[in-house]
Amino acid sequence: MDAPDRRLVRMKEVISRTGLPRRSLYDLISSGRFPRPVKISGRCVAWPMAEVDAWIESRIAERDAAAGGRSGRAR
């Protein structure tokens, strides 16, 4: 198993990786459905890459479970 990615990524990268707009991300954070950011300085926050990736994987797993385990990906 690979070690988790310990990099911190800023909002622009989180938006790019998830495809979600800023407002939706903060709504998900407020409801506890997306990882909370880490404060890296007085006015800057970032997200652990591993937590963002885990959230993306959980969305894929939820989709696959709802589809009866079919991922829709070619093998």
Give me the pLDDT at residue 70, please. Answer: 60
Of the candidates 2, 9, 4, the one whose C-alpha atom is nearest the C-alpha of residue 48 is 9
Q: Domain 8-66 belongs to what topology?
A: Recoverin; domain 1 (1.10.238)
Whether the predicted pLDDT of 4 surpasses 60: yes
Whether the predicted pLDDT of 58 surpasses 60: yes
Domain ranges of the chain: 8-66
